[in-house]
Structure 1
Amino acid sequence: MATSDVRLLAGRQLGLITRAQLRALGISRWRVRNQLAAERWVERSSTVISTFTGSMSRDQLMWLGVLQGGPRALVGGLTAAEVHGLANWHRETITVLVPYGDDIQEPIDGIDFVRTRKAIDSFRSTSSELPLMRLEPAALMWAAQERSDRTSQGILAALVQQRLTTPESLAAWLRDLKPLRKAPLFRGALAEMSEGAQSLSEMELRRLCRRFGIARPAQQTKRRDSDGRVRYTDCEWPLPDGRLLVLEIDGGFHMEVEHWEDDLARQRALSAPDRVIIRCTTREIRDEPQRLVRDLQRLGVPKAA
């Protein structure tokens, strides 16, 4: 009976089990020692044993981290966001959140144990067998510790842009997590996202407009291209002569040939006699704002009311 219970519990934990769990199931330390000596099991840490040999997958490393971290440990940070579906923000190191004061027997290569004084029991996701933080607190707490303000805001914008959460949900969690570093910065960014900005570059463009006193654009406007496909434009301004100025903002990935060609085709499909489409890069918004504003004004973008 004990053997089947071990198999069942280890199966739920992707083949990993702690010594304490084995004792609770009636498995003696002598039997554990014999399994290890026979090389049927492998000691992955002083606390955690795998019931398989060979290398571990990333999912199994997450289980190793939470089992090593203790019964209240949760996969957190960008690792949790990745499990929830966030794309293009991969970090090789796995983040595990543990309550402050809980004992971690030893460090493990590739796993970052982050201590917190916050009551993390309410952060646990109910959608996963893996002890996993909910998306919003995982991202906000990671962003609060990130050195770069641009990166901190960028992760929140990516979550909204990829439709994994909403500005309103993030704002609600921001209130629940207080005190939290960078909270004023996050509140401002989330307010801009609620008004239509869905990327860090779009938020920075809105700030550029306020700084230089030009009209704020409409953002993420739904349009149909010449093939009838639904598209969303980054920024739009109605011009005094009745035409529409569309600004598309390119990030670094647009320099890849495939993306570049897709963007050219998209621009052609969105073009119309009464619609002027121009492009800029995120670097220009950040490093050459005066030049960009000058070009926008030359094309007819009015001053702010």
Structure 2
Amino acid sequence: MMKISFLFFFCIFPLVLSDLQVGFYSSTCPRAELIVRQVVQNRFKTDPSITAALLRMHFHDCFVRGCDASILVDSNSTKSKSSEKDAGPNQTVRGFELIDEAKKTLEAACPTTVSCADIVTLATRDAVALAGGSNYSVPTGRRDGLVSDPTEVNVPGPTDSVSDALESFTAKGLTLNDMVTLLGAHTVGVAHCFFFQDRLSNFQGTGKPDPSMDPTLVTKLSKTCGTKSRNKNPTVFLDQNTSFVIDNEFYKQIMLKRGIMQIDQELSLDKLSAPIVSNFASNGIGFQQSFANAMVKMGSIEVLVGNAGEVRKNCRVFN
């Protein structure tokens, strides 16, 4: 049985962050955070990969229109209207049914009170803690957005250079340190082979593997992703060592040329990001604290508060 150590670092944040508040629902829905936590705990018991799924969902939501749950909205076939879910980068985002379950329970306890955007943020925090990450405080009070447009989905990609990815992060008010930290979420992630297939045999049209990847790893991944694979769309762990644990192993791996996706490997090679990678690889506690801070910071990107937006009754449909 997999053993996961639980690390609890209580990071201190201002009580108010971008008009969000820790304990926002303490009077209007006192059990809100407990309800979300119980739903996540029940899912995690049978599916520890839910941590990676929620981290990706949260990231893909916040990087489009801010953290407004616009990624949760279903397309409307009767009105021929697409949503963010239809965009290419979101085709493999999953975990929506967990958000639905939490929302249904919250609506029974406190109707039209807890936003879907806050559910995503809280669920991600709880999943991080269950996977061995920090148990950090999350400011809440987000409102749900009124727009979900697939043409607006433009998130950093697996083949981006460090400088290209950094442009996307800085546009959202995040720093280089935030970027290197948040990409550390790949310590529990997976990737479909087509995202890195060229690195195994025809890197940048050379007809050869990417020289920055460990040859032993190239051989292993080639077997998994090859034409003889029984799985037509195989996936591999981005952290080949502690694949379900949020720790600093990801950084140790990319320093050993064992990064799966090109952007991951380049973090350890680029002169801007390499010192941060080296620091996290040797300082697990420092990474955990930085990760908690970066998650809270990301969760405050362009949030809707006050009378803006709405609180959806069903996370998949505008009111």
Bigger Rg, structure 1 or 2? 1
Q: Same fold (TM over 0.5)?
A: no
TM-score range, shorter chain: under 0.3
Greater fraction of residues in strand: 1
Q: What TM-score does the superposition give when structure 1 sets the normalisation length?
A: 0.24
Higher relative contact order (CA 8 A, sep 6+): 2
TM-score where L is the length of structure 2? 0.23
